[in-house]
Amino acid sequence: MNHSGVLKDLNFLEISKAVGSKLLNLRSDQSEDYLSILEADSKFLVNHSLMDYSLLLVIETDPQDGSQFYHMGIIDYLQNWDTSKMVERYFKTFLNRSIAKKISAMPSAPYRFRFMQFLRNNVLKS
């Protein structure tokens, strides 16, 4: 399967469902190592009131032996939780309460919790 361009978390879930298996083939210790690194990095971002970041994930498959290589890192992390984001969240949730848990304009600690929960339950699940 060859995808290019930017895909979001729902795309990740759709692709996983379509192929009928996990997209990352990691041992338990590898998953824990990645999660530990991302926990530390996202904690740093929370300590600086940053939110609305993403995980960049590249999966490369060696055409000769089928082995996979993963490249990942946190990107787009320069958005502060500030007054403009507070106002954005207020108006988006005022207009449509059902999206309150889905929008990215939220304080940095809950954003980190949601980010890590998705990684733990979907991306780096061993």
Question: What is the CATH number for 78?
Answer: 3.30.810.10
Give 64's pLDDT tier (boundaries 50, 70, 90). Answer: very high
Residue 2 lies in a domain: no
pTM of the model: 0.74
pLDDT of residue 7: 63
Between the two ends of the chain, the Cα-to-Cα distance in Å is 21
- Whether residue 3 is contained in a domain is answered as no
The range of the structural domain enclosing residue 41 comes to: 9-123
Does residue 22 lie within any of the structural domains?
yes
Asked if 96 and 90 touch (Cβ cutoff 8 Å), the reply is no
Q: Look at residue 88 in the predicted model and tell me its pLDDT.
A: 73
Instruction: Give 54's strand partners.
Output: 75
Q: Are 121 and 35 in contact (CB under 8 A)?
A: no
Domain-located, residue 4: no
What's the CA gap between 7 and 15, in Å, rounded? 10
Residue 99 lies in a domain: yes
- CA 104/CA 121 separation, integer angstroms: 19
Please check the confidence at residue 97 and state whether its pLDDT lies above 70: no
User: What is the torsional sign of CA 73, 78, 82, 84?
Assistant: negative
In a domain, 15, yes or no: yes
Give me the number of domains the chain comprises: 1
Q: What is the pLDDT of residues 8-51, one digit of tens each?
A: 677 788 888 888 777 888 999 999 999 999 999 999 999 998 88
The answer to whether residue 1 is domain-embedded is: no
Higher-confidence residue: 37 or 76?
A: 37
